[in-house]
A and B are shown apart, each in its own frame.
Chain A
Amino acid sequence: MGTEEITTILSSTLRLTAPLAFAACGEYLAERAGTQNISVEGMMLGGAFGSVAVASATGSATTGLLAGAIVGLVVGWLHGNLSHRVQINTFVVGLVLNALVLGLTSFLIAISQFDAHQTAQLSIPGLRDVPILGSFFEQRWPMYTLLLIVPLTWWLVERSRWGLNLRAVADNPQAADVTGLKVNKLRRQALLYCGVLSGLGGAYLATAEVGTFNANMTAGRGFIVIAAVIFGAWRLKGTLIGCLVFGFADALRLALPALGFQLNSQLLVAAPYLMALLAMMLFASKSREPRALGKPFVRGIT
């Protein structure tokens, strides 16, 4: 395997990781606030559809990206209200929202035609000529926003007052409530952040990488994102490493046949899920997850 193949694999790893990384930052924050949000899939898919529709209407892929984030926000808003205001079980909400977005986008794409629009490539002169690592510096420009979003997410969760409140709400909602924090409101806010970033992830996939929208184009990536958060044991660094691992497995699956390796493609597709399960069994069990993760908060005596 020469440097050219390595470069190809590295660059496609990056391309496949980026949409996951966007959504993973959002999901990470939502889970640190105590919502196990399985509607990321729907947020990403909705974001992908919204971005392509708006990009086609306005002719601008950048506007499309923003629209994707807004669609994600709407899904997050719905999820937050249904699970933390009406207080339906969060998994039920996620399940229904995923099904709703999948049905809605498939329905709409079947009767509409969108032009393809792609965001511009941004290459950094000089650095892009570096062998092997050069591919890092020749990507669609929205990928570079990750360089802002990742530190921002880390700062929000670990350093800001809001993040402190979120973490308190996830670990001990009763105590947080007593100190005057609005538990369900904070969780709804976290879901909004998650919606924006997941929508952006889907929009990135659609407008930066693929250029068009196909029915169910996220194809389970949202669930991979959840797996990545678990894989990373609810730490941002681990979550991003999880995304990289999954992106790499995906890139290998695409690249190996071309390189003449005969590896079982089904095994490669299943590998990320197997790894996530293994990771959960080995070290991400009860000890690391937010203590009230996935448990609804109802005000009252305990």
Chain B
Amino acid sequence: MSEHANGSAAMARESRRKLPNIAELMRPSGRGMQVTLITIVAVAIAVGLSMILVSATGGSPIDAAKALYTGSVADVAAWSETLKAAAPLLLVALGACISNRAGVFNIGQEGQLLLGAAAGAYVALHLALPGPIVVLLSLLAGAAAGGIWSGASAVMNYTRGVNIVVSTLLMSFIAIQVVSFSVSVPWLLQAPRASADSIASPESAQLPEAVRLMGFGQYPNLEIGGGLVIALILTIVLAVLLGRSRWGFRLNMLGLNPMAARHAGVRASYLGGSALFLSGAFAGLAGAVILSGSVFRLQPALSNNFGWDGLLVALIARSRPIAAIPVALLFGALRSGSSFLASTGVPNYLVDVVQSLLVLAFVVPPVLARVRSRGRAEATTPPSEPVPAATTEPEKVTA
């Protein structure tokens, strides 16, 4: 190993080869045409498999596709639903972009989102301030709660060496119980009973009109929620920060090559920890947006897989905020379209299958191309020579 350790470039190359981590597969892979072609084929296969699944189980793929279309983009009302679902997905995905880039893989968004919604509900229901201020504070509280929840995982990791993937996952199950508890006791968030002898339901009171997130424009039926506007603004801010700022550069460096980052003076515990905190904060914000933008009531089922799906969005978008916009729209469309599936006799769980197949269709090709080209490089170069960096990872931090 020592003969290669002269110069940071060789060092960088070595440790990259040792730890091809999550951030690496998030980056655009550069073999543009090849990857695009395989991806198109893979997406076609994914769609084909889904259609085969529908027809094999006695449904009509054409009807199912029509229903998905009608429910998602056929008219302005459907578009409104699509946009409404896309906003939290995009927010969760943005957070995942940050943590994935730093090489810390947060998979507890579902719990962070729920806790964000709970904190948002608490602030919205208990603060007696002018409406817009309450909305703002409730969103901030949601972000803070989500961030603290994932931050706990960061603390556990950097002080005690607890695996981040596992701890964020476990924390997410705890969060579900915390929220379920908070809506089952009257002194926290449970809605007061309607009458003395009615059974109290496990949900919070409804948010009053004044403390809901206002929508922008009520163009003939087309509703653009405040959440979407927030998400889009944050996307642009984040895209600039990740692409242009020193913070974004260091984040990428940490994710692509922790060893080189350490040599360059990046402190993994601070940078990685704050990346994890931010990703949780985005998930929490998404929860608060769902709460004050569409559901208006804290319910244990409020998260409704938004956390998981948001993470899938980030995976497809390869941790690029701008790319997450169309993917979030696609997932939002699938979500809103799924409500129309039932009328065709095709269970709306089909959408979950389609989504996971799509993720595979987008994630596999670039990795496959990289593995294949590495195989070729290994076959052609003499074994003593390291594989040229350009073939393993063409687009680098030097850009």
Interface residues of A (CB under 8 A from B): 36, 38, 82, 86-89, 91-92, 95-97, 99-100, 102-104, 106-108, 110-112, 215, 220, 223, 226-227, 230, 264, 266-267, 269-270, 273-274, 276-277, 280-281, 285-286, 289, 294-296, 298-302
Contacts and interface: CB of A to CB of B under 8 A. Distances in A.
Given A230-B166, A270-B178, A300-B386, 11 more contacts: A36-B165, A38-B165, A87-B367, A89-B25, A91-B107, A99-B312, A99-B359, A270-B177, A281-B156, A295-B19, A301-B17
Contact of B171 (A103, A277, A295): A277
A227 B168 CA distance: 12
B204 to A, nearest CB: 16
B180 A108 contact: no
B173 A107 contact: no
B363 A96 contact: yes
Contacts of A227: 166, 170
27 contacts: A36-B165, A86-B367, A86-B371, A95-B308, A96-B356, A100-B352, A100-B356, A103-B349, A103-B351, A107-B57, A108-B57, A111-B345, A215-B349, A267-B177, A269-B177, A270-B174, A277-B156, A277-B162, A277-B167, A280-B160, A280-B163, A280-B166, A285-B160, A296-B20, A300-B378, A300-B387, A301-B386
B352 A276 contact: no
A226 B1 CA distance: 35
B14 interface: yes
Given A264-B181, A302-B17, A270 B173 contact: yes
Interface in B178-199: 178, 180-181, 184
Interface string B340-373: 0000010101111101110110011001100100
A128 B159 CA distance: 49
A104 B161 contact: no
Given A88-B25, A99-B308, A273-B174, A266 B180 contact: yes
Nearest to A269: B177
Nearest to B352: A103
A82 B371 CA distance: 12
Interface residues of B, number: 59
A186 to B, nearest CB: 18
B350 A107 contact: yes
B142 to A, nearest CB: 21
B359 A96 contact: yes
Q: Which 9 A-B pairs have the closest CB atoms?
A: A103-B352, A110-B347, A285-B161, A100-B356, A107-B349, A270-B177, A106-B349, A103-B353, A266-B181
Contacts of A230: 163, 166
A92 B167 CA distance: 16
B18 interface: yes
B282 interface: no
A48 to B, nearest CB: 16
Given A88-B367, A96-B359, A36 B163 contact: yes
A89 B21 contact: yes
Contacts of B107: 38, 91, 95
A103 to B, nearest CB: 3
A276 B167 CA distance: 9
A30 to B, nearest CB: 14
Given A87-B371, A280-B160, A299-B378, A107 B353 contact: yes
Given A92-B363, A107-B350, A266-B178, A301 B170 contact: no
Given A38-B169, A267-B177, A302-B18, A285 B162 contact: yes
Contacts of A274: 174
Contacts of B137: none
A277 B22 contact: no
Contacts of B355: 99, 103
A274 B371 CA distance: 39
B311 interface: yes
